[in-house]
Amino acid sequence: MRIDDVPQDNGLNEGVKELTYAVDEQGRYVRVTSLGWEPKTTTNDQAWEVIDGEIAEAITLYHAGKRSPLAFHMASNLMNVALLASYMNLPRWRVRRHLKPKVFENLKSDLINRYAQVFNISADELQQVPPDSGV
């Protein structure tokens, strides 16, 4: 893309410029600032809507007694079972099992602390979930 073609739509960053690269008159790549690009903003907004929906679903399932707090923290940190299992150095089946409220309630404190450390929160925070919005 040429320097003159770099989009300058007010987008995701609302006034904050992001660095892009474009070709100058001599055909060299140079750094150019951009205010954003509407298609990129739309795509990011749609992605965040999906993520917000997953977080809301995790909260609802927790309050319905169908999921442990772990589900909320996974969704909030954009993690799935495989990724969390990798960070925890546990088999996926164990992490899936820890998503069950009764199993989670009986976890030993050292495992709770490991989960909390992965999410960079305290063990008490790990066991808390926001109220259900009812949406």
Range(s) of the chain covered by CATH 1.10.260: 44-126
Phi, psi of 16 (to 5 degrees): -85, 130
Per-residue pLDDT at 66: 97
The CATH architecture assigned to 44-126 reads Orthogonal Bundle (1.10)
Mean pLDDT of the chain: 90
The verdict on pTM exceeding 0.85 is: no
Nearest to 92 by CA among 101, 82, 100: 82
Q: Contact at 8 Å (CB) between 80 and 95?
A: no
Token readout for 111 is 């495992």
Over its length of 135 residues, how does the chain's per-residue pLDDT go in tens digits?
888 877 777 766 666 778 889 888 898 999 888 877 777 778 888 999 999 999 999 999 999 999 999 999 999 999 999 999 999 999 999 999 999 999 999 999 999 999 999 999 999 999 999 997 655
φ and ψ of 31, to 5 deg: -80, 135
Residues 29-40 pLDDT 10s: 998 888 777 777
